[in-house]
Amino acid sequence: MILPKEISPNPLITSTVELRFVSDLSESEALSQIYPAFAQEFPKLNPGLIPKELKQSSEEQFKYSADYIMNNDNFSIAFSNRVFTFDNIGNYVLWGNYFPFIKSQVDKFLSLKIAKKIERVGIRYVSVFSNLINMDELLINTPSVSLSNNYSQEMNLFRSLLKVDEVDLLLQIARSAKVQKREKSFSGLLIDIDASTKSIDENKIIDIIDSLHTEQKKLFFGLLKPDFINTLNPTY
């Protein structure tokens, strides 16, 4: 399958790249070492969005949340003493432009020698197709449950973990979702793909990120009907 380089209008809401790592740093030490290295490019500093009480819970989604967020008009980075993430917060600039930015930030972070070990590399893309709530309109196959009785079905939420080689792909589809991004809100059919791996050659972090992006993109377009893709004005 030939994958589009661009679709319009672009439904992408979130495009986050994440490194989870082991370090010997405290929360304050992470701030004192990471902030100066990125302050010139990301002049705005804010606290993370997750309260400390939740961060201390055993749930992984909170344990690896960031303590601090730094941003400029187009990109943000977020970090703690165990996670470093970055996101395209302005209009999505496409992978060919986003990837060089990712490489420069990863190289800068790794040069600080903070991470004793990279535990996980992940890339999460969240898309919302506005004004679409019917999965049948865009999905090649709508998830369903095989039942012996004559029930009618309407799938509202689907969640599945897919695997390809050493890559995990957490796929979530919501029939009617609402997403807030900065001052804007979006509603419609949501497709959320988190591609990750814990099989890591630390000399090839950039290549791993690029391959994860390819896998999530293949899954994303593989879900969609060809006729629906054509309505998105794809360029190849």
Query: Count H helices, E strands: the chain?
Result: 6, 9
The reply to whether 7 falls in a domain is no
Q: Which amino acid is present at 143?
A: P
The reply to whether 222 falls in a domain is yes
The reply to whether 3 falls in a domain is no
The reply to whether 2 falls in a domain is no
For residue 188, what are the domain limits? 12-230
Task: Return d(Cα 141, Cα 105) in angstroms, integer.
Answer: 38
Digitized pLDDT (tens) for each residue of the chain, 236 residues in all: 789 999 998 999 999 999 999 999 998 899 999 999 999 999 999 987 776 666 666 666 678 889 999 999 999 999 999 999 999 988 888 999 999 999 999 999 999 999 999 999 999 999 999 877 678 888 998 888 887 777 887 888 899 999 999 999 999 999 888 887 777 888 899 999 999 999 999 899 999 999 999 999 999 999 999 999 999 999 99
The reply to whether 236 falls in a domain is no
- Whole-structure pTM value: 0.91
The reply to whether 4 falls in a domain is no
Q: Residues 168-186, buried b or exposed e (16+ Cβ, 10 A)?
A: bbbbebbbebebeeeeeeb
For the chain, helix, strand, coil in percent to 5 are: 25, 35, 35
Q: Angle formed by the axes of helices 95-111 and 205-223, to 10°?
A: 150
Task: Return d(Cα 104, Cα 107) in angstroms, integer.
Answer: 5
Number of domains in the chain: 1
Say what the pLDDT of residue 146 is. 80
- Look at the block and give the residue holding tokens 């959320």: 192
The reply to whether 90 falls in a domain is yes
The reply to whether 75 falls in a domain is yes
